[in-house]
Structure 1
Amino acid sequence: MSHPLESLVIRHTYRIPAPEGPAGQGAVAARQFDSALMSAGFKLSAPLLERLSGLDEGAVLEVAGRTLAAVREIVGDHVQHNAYFVDFPANVPDTLDFWMRCIREALADEEAREGTLKQLSTGAVNLLTLPSYGRYQHTYEEMLTHHDELIAAAGDRMTVLHPGADVEAELAALYLALASSTTPLGESGLEDLVLLAAHCADGPQPEEIPVRENRAVINHARVKSGKPPLPGTLTDLLRLACSLADGDVSLVEPTRFKNLSRPLRRALLAALDAVVAASPAQLADVAVHREAWKRLGERLHPHEYPQWPGAARVFAVARGQERVRSFASRTEELLGAGDLTGAVELLKSAPGVLLRSVDRLLRTAATDEERALVLGAVEAAAPQVAGRVLLSVRRHLLNRGDRLEQGGAQRVFLNRLGRAWVTADTRPALPAAARERLLALLDREIAGRLPETGPVLVDPDVLDVALPLSGKGVAAGIGVLPRGSVSPVEGELLRFFTYWKQRRETTDYDLSATILDEEYQQVTWLSYTQLTEVEGKHSGDVTEAPQGASEFIELRLGAVRGTFVVPQVLLYSGESFLDVEESFFGFMLRESEQQGRPFEPRTVRMKSDLRGPGRVALPLVFRRDADGRWWAHWLHLYLKGSPAANRVEETRVTVESLLRGIVEREQLTVRWLLGLTGAEVTVWDGGSVPEGPVTYVGMQRPEGLHPESRILTPENLRDVIPA
C-alpha cells in the first residue's frame, strides 16, 4: 500500500522505503523496473534489486509505478518537452529567413492577410500577431518521429537508488533531519517540513531547532494538535501566527492574518505573556516588525484577556503607546558618540550581533588597545554563537584581504530572495594583524565543533562545492549545488532547457544565453532574436503555454568564442516565476554522436525549479579555464528586470557587472572544511571502497560502503554546518 509522503523520502534521500508485500518470484519485474529507471537516468542498487527480486511480482510493479513517477518529476521528465523547430538542433533557420517565412504564411492566411498588410505598410510587423509564430506547428508525437533513439554514452548521468527502512521510519528520520537543520531550508524544503511536521506531530521530536522558520512550522503543527508552542522569542511567536495564516514565516512578505479560533487566540496570547514575563527586554524586538504586530493585534483582541498583561504590552509597543528602545538604536547611539568601549560592552549581551559587527568595530577602533578590546570580546563570545554565523563571518573575511588594499575591489550584496547587487568597496582594509588573529580564533572555534570523522573518502568533484550556509533562494531539483559552488562540466554539447506552464494568463518565457570574454564583455548571444550563431542554436520562440512549453539552446563548447556562457530565463509577458503552475530550468551534456530527442532525462545533469521573485533568472554561469576545461559556477540569482518584454540584449550591462563581482568572490568549500578537520582524507578514484566504516563525501553515494559509514552528498551537506 503506497504512502502519500513516500515521494518525499525518494526526493530527499534517493532511498526507496522498504516495500511491503508477500515473498515471490519478482526477479523479472525487478529487472524491467531497473531498465525503465535507467531510461530516466536512475538505477537500482544491487541490494535493492536483490530485495525486490524476492517479492511478489505485483508488489514490485506497485513500487515501480510510484517510484518512476517520483524520479521522472525530479529530473523534469514528467512533462512533454516539445520544440518549436521540429528537427532541433538540426535545420534551425536563420532568424530573418524564419521571420520572413512567418510573414509569407500570414499573407497566405485569409484571416491574417489584411492585418499583416496593414502592419507592413507602416514598416514594422509585430511577430506575435503572425499565426505561425510562437505556437507549436506540430504535436509532441510528431516531433518524436523526427528524432533517432539516444545512443547510450559512458558519461550519461546515472543516479543510484538505495534501499531504505520502512516508510514510517524513513519519514521520521527525514522530519528530524529537516527540523534540526542548522541552516535555513529552501522554499520547497520548508513546504516539505510542513507536511512532515503534521504527520510526525505525535512522534519523536528534535532536541534542538536552530532555525526560526523551522520552529514556526513545528509550532504550527503542535498548536493544531492541541499542544503549547515551544519556548522561544516574541519573533518566534509572530512567525507562528504567520504560519497559522498560511503566510510568510520568514517575515519578508506581509501576511494577511485570518480570524483565529478562540483556542488559538488564547494559546498565542498566553505564550506572548509568558515570554514577556520571563524577559521584558524582548519587547525591544517588536519595533522590527511593528506593522505585522499591529495587524496581528487586530485579530487577537488582547484587551479581552486582562489575565495576560504581557501580551497587551507587546501590542502597546507596536502601536507606539509604550516606548522601548531597540538594541540597534542603543548601539548606534554609542558608536555615534565615539564610545567604542560602551558599544562592545552592550554587544556582549548579543554574541551573534557582536560577531556580525566585528568588521565595523575593527574599522572604528583607532588604537591597538581598542582593537584588542574588540578581539577579546569576540573571542569570549564565539563559543556562544551559532556555527552558521561563525562560518558567515569567516567567509566575509576571505573577501577582505590584500586585494582590498590594492583598490578596485567590489562589494557584493546577496539577499535571501536571490537578489544581488554589486558596488565599489570603499571600506578601508582591516589591519593585517587584527585580521589574522580573527581568522585564527574563528578557525579554532569552528574546528572544535566539528565531529570526529574517522577516515574520510572524498569524491574530487565535491571539493569545490560551497558550504550551504543557507538554502534560501536555492530551488529544489537534481544536481543542484549551493550558491558559489564550482563543478566540472564534461561533454561536447551543452544544452539548456526551460519549461513552464501558465496557470490563468497567457505567459511567454524566453530562454537566452550570453557569451562573454575574459573581461566580462559580451561577444554574442543566442535568443529568439538570434536563433543561430557559431556557438550553437536556439530551438525557437514559444509564446504561450496552456499545456506547457519548452525552449532549448544547444552550444558546441569547442566552438565558444568567449570565456563565460550565461544562460538566462526572461519573463517576456504573463505570469511570474512565483505565479505559474510550474517552471524549471536545467542543462544536459551529450557527446556529438548521441542524437536523441531534444529532452533526454538521462543526459540531464541539473534541473531546478524557477521560484524567484525577479523577472530574469540567472541559475548558473559556465566558465572556461586557461587549460580549456569548462566549469559551472552556481548563482541562483534573480534580477528585478522590467515589468514586461525583458530581452537578453537589455540585461547585458547588469549581468556583466554582477558576474565580475560574484564569480571572483571566494567561498568556504568542502576542500577548506576537510583541511580544517585534520582528518585522514583519501580522494576516491571511483574504484573499490574501504571495507571499514568511513565518512564519505561525494556527489552521490557509491555502492559497497560499510553500513556504519556516514554519507554526505549535496542532499544532506547542510549536516556539516556545526550547531
Structure 2
Amino acid sequence: MVHRLEPLVIRHARRLPMPSGPAGPAGPAGHSGVVARQFDATLLSVGFKLSADLLEQLSGLSGETVRQVAARTLDTVREMVGDHVQHNVYFVDFPANVPDTFDFWMRCVAEALSDDASHDRTLAQLSTGVIDLLTLPSYGSYQHTYAEMLAAHDELIAAAGDRMTVLHLGGALEDEVTALYLALAGSTTPLGEEGLRDLRLLAGHCVDGPRPEAIPVRENRAVVNLARLDAGASLLVDTVTDVLRLACALSDGDVTLTEPTRFRSLSRPVRRALLAALDAVVAQAPAKLADVATHREMFKRLGERLHPHEYPRWPHAADVFAVARGEKQARAFDSHVEELLGADDVTGAARLLTAAPGMLFRSLDRLLRTCRTQEERDAVVAAAEQVAPQVSGRVLLSVREHFHNRLEQEAGEQRVFVNRLGRAWVTADTRPPVLPPERERLTAALDAETRRRLPRPGHLLIDPGVLDVALPLSGKATAAGMGVLPRGSLSPVDGELLRFFVYWKQTACSTDYDLSALMLDDSYATISWLSYTNLSELEGEHSGDITNAPDGASEFINLRLGAVRGTYVVPQVYIFSGEGFEEVEESFFGFMLRETEQQGRPFEARTVRMKSELRGPGRVALPLAFLRGSDGRWRAKWLHLYLKGAPSANRVEGNRVTVAALLRGVVERDYLTVRYLADLMAGHATATTLWDGKTVPDEPVTYIGLERPDGLHPGSRVFTPENLRDLIPG
C-alpha cells in the first residue's frame, strides 16, 4: 500500500512521509548519510532537492532503507515532470540544423524516389502535382535511436535559474494520508479528474478513520460514499441526487453528472442500500422529489437497474422513479420562479429565491437585467444581502468575479464560455448592462461577507509571485500536473529560451499529434507560426513531425523570446489523426526555460517549469499563452481550453481566428486572484510581509506562495498552489 499512497502525498503536499526502519550509523559521515546525500544529488538532476530537516532524518536511517525510499521517490518526481519517458526528436541535433520546410520535404521525396518500395507510388503522386507526406518512408518516424540522439548533445550546463522544488519532511505515512484525505474530501471547491481519482483511493483506505466535518462538494461526497458502501458504513446523503451520483460512481461513470452514465447491473445488497437511502431522503423531505426532474432520464435508467417494485417497504423510493416516468407530479422549485418572472413579478421571484440562497446568487444578473424600476432593483439587492451569510464561499467569490467584469460593454463585444470540461466557445455579448449602483452595492456586500469568513492570519507572509494567481474556484479550471495554475492566472517567465513539448503514446491505433505555436501582435492578428508546416522562423524552431506513437513520441518548439515579433505566443496541440486526448494511453504538455549558454538534451527535467496532462474533450488543446507586458517582460497566462476542432487534419492555419478570439476573451477578463483575498486578510493580520525569497521569520506565520520555503516555523500555516483551494472560505 505504501507504493500507492506515498506518491499521492508527494504530489499533493510536496512532503515525503517519514519511513520507519532500522537506524544507520550516527552522523552525516556515516554510510546512511552518504546514501542520503547521493539521493539528494540525484534529485537535483531532475529539479528537486531534500529539505535540510528531511536530509537529516534520512541520514539517521539505514542505507538500505534510504535506497528504497530514493527509488520510490525518484520514480514519482520523474513522472511529475515528464522524465519517466524517453523524449526523442525527429531532427537529431535539434534545435540546431533544423532545415527549411520545403527543402526538408523535397529531401523526403528524393529519398522516396530512391527507394524501390515507394518509387512508383511517389512518382504517380508527383504526376498529379500533390504529394501525401505520410506516404513518404522517411517522413514522420524517428530516423535514429534515443541513444544516438543523446550522443549528439552535450551535457546541460547548470544555471541559477534552473527549477528547484524542495521536498519537505512529512510525518508518518498514515498521518500524512489521513490529513490529505480530510483535505480533499472536505474541499470547498470541486476537484479535478486527478483529485477525484486520488480521493477515491484515499477514501477506501481511510473509511474507518476520521471524517471531515463537512463534505460540501457533492462529487466528493459521491466518492466518499462509494468507499462507505463497500465498507458497509452508513451513507452520507441528503438529496436524491446524492444517491444518483453514488450510482454513477458504482458504474465508473461521471459523478459530476455532466456526461451520461451506462449503469451496470447491481447486486441485491447494493440495490437495497441505494433504495433505502432514497426512501429516507424523500420521507424526511418530500419536496426533494422536485430534484428528480433535473436528471429525469438518468433516474429512469437507474430505476431499471434498482427494481424498486421488488421492495414495497420503501414506498418513497418508488415515488422517485414514478416522478421520473411522469406518473407522479413534483413541481420543481425553479418552475415557481419562472412563473413569477413570466408574470413580471421580479420582487416576488427574488423573495421566493431567498429560500434557495445559492440559486438566488446564480440568478442575480438575470434578475437585475429584468428589473424595470429602481424599487425592483433595490429589492433584488436587498434579498442578496439578506442571504449572503448562507451562500458558499465559492459562489460568493464566483459572483464577485462575475460582477467585477460586468461593465457596460461596447458594441460588438464577445463573451467566452468555458464548460466544466474545458470546452470553449465565443459568442456575441447581447446582454443589457447591470447598472453601476447595484453592481457597486453587491460588490461591497460580497467583500464584507468574504472578509468576515476569512481566518485571522497572525503574521501574513506573502510571496509576491503568487499574487496574480487566479483563485481555484473549481478544480475543473486546472489540469492535473506540476507547476500548473488555475485558468486566468499570470506567472512570470524568466529565461531567454522557451521550449514547449508534447508527449503522447497511442493505445490501439496510429495517432498523430502536432505541436504548434502561434505568434500574435497586440491586436491579436497573426504574425507567424511554428508547426510541421513551418519548421523554422526568426523566433525559433520545430523539432519535426512524428506521425505514429506506438512506443510514445515527442515534439518540441524552441523559442528565443528576445526574437519574438509580437505580444502573444500561443502554444497548441492539434490532433491530426487517431485517438483523442482521453483515449490515448498517455499525453501531456509542458514548457522549459533555459539561458542562452545552456545546451543539453531537447528535454532536461530540471529546466521544466510546468507539465500538464492533456485529458480534455475536443481535438485542439490550448494549455496556456505567453504575454509580453509593457515592461518588456514575459508572463504566462493559463488557459486550460479545448476546441472541438475537425475530426481529422487539424492545423494551426485553420484555427487562427478562433484561437485569437478565445485568447482575447481570457486575457481581457479580470480574474479574482490571490491578491484579492490577501488584501482582505491583511486587515486582520498582526503584520503583513512580502517575502524576499531569502529569510523567513522565526515565528509561526500564514504563508502564501508558489513554493513552501525551507525553514518555516513548524507552527506555520502554508498555502501553495497544491492546496490553494483551502483559502476559499466555506
Normalised by the length of structure 1, the TM-score is 0.99
Query: For residue 207 of structure 1, what is the amino acid of its counterpart?
Result: E
Query: For residue 112 of structure 2, what is the amino acid of its counterpart?
Result: A
Query: Following superposition of structure 1 onto structure 2, how do residues 680-699 of structure 1 map, counting pairs within 5 Å?
Result: 680-699=687-706
Q: Contact 1:45–1:703 (CA<8 Å) still a contact in 2?
A: yes
- Give 3-state SS (helix, strand or coil) of 1:472's partner: helix
Query: Following superposition of structure 1 onto structure 2, how do residues 170-319 of structure 1 map, counting pairs within 5 Å?
Result: 170-319=176-325
Residue 726 of structure 2 is matched in structure 1 by 719
Residue 472 of structure 1 is matched in structure 2 by 476
Residue 2 of structure 1 deviates from its aligned partner by 4.3
Query: Following superposition of structure 1 onto structure 2, how do residues 151-162 of structure 1 map, counting pairs within 5 Å?
Result: 151-162=157-168
Query: Following superposition of structure 1 onto structure 2, how do residues 122-161 of structure 1 map, counting pairs within 5 Å?
Result: 122-161=128-167
Further displaced range: 494-503 or 354-363: 354-363
CA distance in 2, matches of 1:437, 1:2: 53
- Give 3-state SS (helix, strand or coil) of 2:689's partner: strand
CA distance in 1, matches of 2:462, 2:607: 24
Runs of 5+ in structure 2 lacking a partner? Answer: 26-31
- Give 3-state SS (helix, strand or coil) of 1:132's partner: coil
CA distance in 2, matches of 1:643, 1:329: 39
Q: Contact 1:150–1:595 (CA<8 Å) still a contact in 2?
A: yes
Residue 436 of structure 1 deviates from its aligned partner by 1.1
CA distance in 1, matches of 2:406, 2:318: 46
Equivalent of 2:545, from 529, 541, 545? 541
Q: Contact 2:516–2:573 (CA<8 Å) still a contact in 1?
A: yes
Residue 647 of structure 1 is matched in structure 2 by 651
Residue 18 of structure 1 is matched in structure 2 by 18
Residue 407 of structure 1 deviates from its aligned partner by 4.3
Q: 1:407 to 1:117 in 2, by over 3 A?
A: closer
Query: For residue 95 of structure 2, what is the amino acid of its counterpart?
Result: P
CA distance in 2, matches of 1:221, 1:419: 31
CA distance in 2, matches of 1:422, 1:647: 19
Q: Contact 2:3–2:72 (CA<8 Å) still a contact in 1?
A: no
CA distance in 1, matches of 2:97, 2:419: 43
Q: Deviations over 1:670-717 (max 9, x none)?
A: 111111121332111112111101111111001111100011000000
Query: Following superposition of structure 1 onto structure 2, how do residues 222-621 of structure 1 map, counting pairs within 5 Å?
Result: 222-401=228-407, 404=408, 406-621=410-625
- Give 3-state SS (helix, strand or coil) of 2:476's partner: coil
Q: Contact 1:16–1:163 (CA<8 Å) still a contact in 2?
A: yes
Query: For residue 383 of structure 2, what is the amino acid of its counterpart?
Result: A
Q: Contact 1:355–1:378 (CA<8 Å) still a contact in 2?
A: yes
Query: For residue 13 of structure 1, what is the amino acid of its counterpart?
Result: A
**Is 2:68 the counterpart of 1:62?**
yes
**Is 2:120 the counterpart of 1:114?**
yes
Residue 474 of structure 1 deviates from its aligned partner by 2.0
Q: Contact 2:594–2:607 (CA<8 Å) still a contact in 1?
A: yes
- Give 3-state SS (helix, strand or coil) of 1:570's partner: strand
- Give 3-state SS (helix, strand or coil) of 1:220's partner: helix
Query: For residue 22 of structure 1, what is the amino acid of its counterpart?
Result: P
- Give 3-state SS (helix, strand or coil) of 1:5's partner: helix
CA distance in 2, matches of 1:172, 1:692: 27
CA distance in 1, matches of 2:427, 2:452: 36
Query: For residue 244 of structure 2, what is the amino acid of its counterpart?
Result: L
CA distance in 2, matches of 1:102, 1:406: 52
Residue 446 of structure 1 deviates from its aligned partner by 0.6
Q: Contact 2:46–2:78 (CA<8 Å) still a contact in 1?
A: yes
Q: Deviations over 1:418-468 (max 9, x none)?
A: 012222322222222111111111100011000110111111110100000
Query: For residue 461 of structure 2, what is the amino acid of its counterpart?
Result: L
Query: For residue 697 of structure 1, what is the amino acid of its counterpart?
Result: I
Q: Contact 2:346–2:370 (CA<8 Å) still a contact in 1?
A: yes
Q: Contact 1:512–1:525 (CA<8 Å) still a contact in 2?
A: yes
Q: Contact 2:590–2:611 (CA<8 Å) still a contact in 1?
A: yes
CA distance in 2, matches of 1:50, 1:183: 37
Query: Following superposition of structure 1 onto structure 2, how do residues 73-92 of structure 1 map, counting pairs within 5 Å?
Result: 73-92=79-98
**Is 2:665 the counterpart of 1:661?**
yes
Residue 364 of structure 1 deviates from its aligned partner by 1.6
Query: For residue 342 of structure 2, what is the amino acid of its counterpart?
Result: G
Residue 406 of structure 1 deviates from its aligned partner by 4.8
Residue 4 of structure 1 deviates from its aligned partner by 2.6
Q: Contact 1:413–1:420 (CA<8 Å) still a contact in 2?
A: yes
Residue 32 of structure 1 is matched in structure 2 by 38
Residue 708 of structure 2 is matched in structure 1 by 701
CA distance in 2, matches of 1:69, 1:384: 45
Query: For residue 380 of structure 2, what is the amino acid of its counterpart?
Result: V
CA distance in 1, matches of 2:620, 2:92: 27
Q: Contact 1:3–1:167 (CA<8 Å) still a contact in 2?
A: no
Runs of 5+ in structure 1 lacking a partner? Answer: none
Q: Contact 1:257–1:299 (CA<8 Å) still a contact in 2?
A: yes
Q: Contact 1:74–1:478 (CA<8 Å) still a contact in 2?
A: yes
Query: For residue 49 of structure 1, what is the amino acid of its counterpart?
Result: L
- Give 3-state SS (helix, strand or coil) of 2:584's partner: coil
**Is 2:674 the counterpart of 1:670?**
yes
Q: Contact 2:192–2:475 (CA<8 Å) still a contact in 1?
A: yes
Query: For residue 448 of structure 2, what is the amino acid of its counterpart?
Result: R
- Give 3-state SS (helix, strand or coil) of 2:703's partner: strand
- Give 3-state SS (helix, strand or coil) of 2:22's partner: coil
CA distance in 1, matches of 2:356, 2:2: 49
Normalised by the length of structure 2, the TM-score is 0.98
Query: For residue 508 of structure 1, what is the amino acid of its counterpart?
Result: D
Q: Contact 1:497–1:551 (CA<8 Å) still a contact in 2?
A: yes
Aligned residues: 721
Q: Contact 2:18–2:172 (CA<8 Å) still a contact in 1?
A: yes
**Among the aligned pairs, what percent are the same residue?**
70
Query: For residue 700 of structure 2, what is the amino acid of its counterpart?
Result: P
Q: Deviations over 1:241-263 (max 9, x none)?
A: 00011111011111111111111
Residue 29 of structure 2 is matched in structure 1 by none
CA distance in 2, matches of 1:407, 1:351: 33
CA distance in 2, matches of 1:321, 1:418: 37
> RMSD of the TM alignment (CA)?
1.0
Query: For residue 481 of structure 1, what is the amino acid of its counterpart?
Result: L
Q: Contact 2:425–2:643 (CA<8 Å) still a contact in 1?
A: no
Q: Contact 2:477–2:486 (CA<8 Å) still a contact in 1?
A: no
Q: Contact 1:128–1:134 (CA<8 Å) still a contact in 2?
A: yes
Residue 620 of structure 1 deviates from its aligned partner by 0.3
Q: 1:281 to 1:540 in 2, by over 3 A?
A: same
Query: For residue 554 of structure 1, what is the amino acid of its counterpart?
Result: N
CA distance in 2, matches of 1:333, 1:264: 40
Residue 122 of structure 1 deviates from its aligned partner by 0.9
Residue 366 of structure 1 deviates from its aligned partner by 1.8
CA distance in 2, matches of 1:265, 1:578: 31
CA distance in 2, matches of 1:379, 1:252: 31
- Give 3-state SS (helix, strand or coil) of 2:554's partner: strand
